[in-house]
Structure 1
């Protein structure tokens, strides 16, 4: 779905370099310099309006976070949330996930979150899915050894496709829930989409996989 343009969004991102990383290439291989404290780095690809990444940063001050979002209008809303929270261990990046190799080296990232990614249901759009094999190649190239992907969606078709994609790639399945909100999983942080979909009765699916 096309996002409505937010007036002044691009200018606003440039006005807050303490929250929005502008020269991503300069930190490649030395991302700890972007944060006050050197800590493990987790990134969320498709951070949306920033609810998940901000709450995770509040709960885990011992971890650094980067929320990655392609839509300028959407990430501007995430910036508003981050300004209000004023957390030292979270930043934002307005880049395309396919370009992550340009910004991160092997071992820069400890964990990747994929939350409610666009399902791209048509077969001809398969390569755009964030769990397609070419994206899994990208993630492997920036994660630490045995780095993890945590994936969450309300779309059963995308979840089934992703489990198959993970398996064919050789990833190790370490957690799976076919009904997250009716499970004993603790400390779940809901995204804006998750709250919306679950309020309609949609089942939430979640899994964790690890590179071998």
Structure 2
């Protein structure tokens, strides 16, 4: 969902280069230098207003996290939270999820999260889906082979498409759940803003965890 422009967003971003990098070509292989210490790096592509990534960074101080968002206003909301919290293991990127191999070196990312991405339901837009083969190829290029990809959505059609797309790409599924909030296998689920509102109304959340074939 496109957010309304906020006049405070651009000045806030410009004022805090210690927390946010804008379209970071030239940072490949250097992300650990942005944190207080090196830790396994997790990336969320499409972070919205940041509830998930902020809570993950708070809950897992043993990892470093990067929130990537293409909308200036959305990343500014996350930045506002980070300015208040000053989490040492959280960095932000204002950039495009289609440019990941320009932003990250091979194997630099340990784990990757896709939360409630735009399903792009029309067939003519299939190549824009973040689980389309060209995106999967980028994820594979930047991820540690031992890492995993977590994908959550409330859209059953998009979930089914993603299962087929990942299977056809040769990925291996570690978890497939059709109802995250009723699945005893899932512990410590961290919600996004959208997930919290949707599930509170009784909506079902689908989740999968998968990895690329190793060795």
Give the structure 2 partner of residue 13 of structure 1.
13
- Does the CA contact (< 8 Å) of 2:148 and 2:210 recur in 1? yes
Q: Secondary structure at the match of 1:68?
A: strand
CA distance in 2, matches of 1:2, 1:13: 18
Structure 1 residue runs of 5 or longer lacking an equivalent are none
Alpha-carbon shift at residue 147 of structure 1 (Å): 2.6
Post-superposition Cα deviations, 1:94-147, rounded to whole Å, max 9, x if no partner, equal 000011111111011011100000111111111111000010011111111133
CA distance in 2, matches of 1:122, 1:200: 26
- Does the CA contact (< 8 Å) of 1:27 and 1:34 recur in 2? no
1:83 to 2:111 alignment = no
Q: How many residues align?
A: 212
Give the structure 2 partner of residue 164 of structure 1.
164
- Does the CA contact (< 8 Å) of 1:114 and 1:151 recur in 2? yes
- Does the CA contact (< 8 Å) of 1:107 and 1:143 recur in 2? yes
CA distance in 2, matches of 1:85, 1:164: 40
- Does the CA contact (< 8 Å) of 1:27 and 1:103 recur in 2? yes
Please say which of residues 80-89 and 128-137 is displaced more in the overlay.
Answer: 80-89
CA distance in 2, matches of 1:206, 1:94: 26
Moved over 4 A (4+): none
Structure 1 segment 66-145 matched on structure 2, within 5 A: 66-145=66-145
Post-superposition Cα deviations, 1:43-78, rounded to whole Å, max 9, x if no partner, equal 000001011001001111010000000000111111
Give the structure 2 partner of residue 49 of structure 1.
49
Give the structure 2 partner of residue 187 of structure 1.
188
Alpha-carbon shift at residue 26 of structure 1 (Å): 3.3
Give the structure 2 partner of residue 147 of structure 1.
147
Root-mean-square deviation (CA, aligned residues, Å) is 1.1
- Does the CA contact (< 8 Å) of 1:50 and 1:82 recur in 2? no
CA distance in 2, matches of 1:121, 1:23: 27
- Does the CA contact (< 8 Å) of 2:2 and 2:71 recur in 1? no
Q: Secondary structure at the match of 1:27?
A: coil
Give the TM-score, by structure 1 length. Answer: 0.97
Give the structure 2 partner of residue 34 of structure 1.
34
Alpha-carbon shift at residue 23 of structure 1 (Å): 6.6
Alpha-carbon shift at residue 22 of structure 1 (Å): 3.8
CA distance in 1, matches of 2:4, 2:32: 34
Structure 2 residue runs of 5 or longer lacking an equivalent are none
Please say which of residues 146-155 and 51-60 is displaced more in the overlay.
Answer: 146-155
Give the structure 1 partner of residue 174 of structure 2.
174
CA distance in 1, matches of 2:196, 2:169: 31
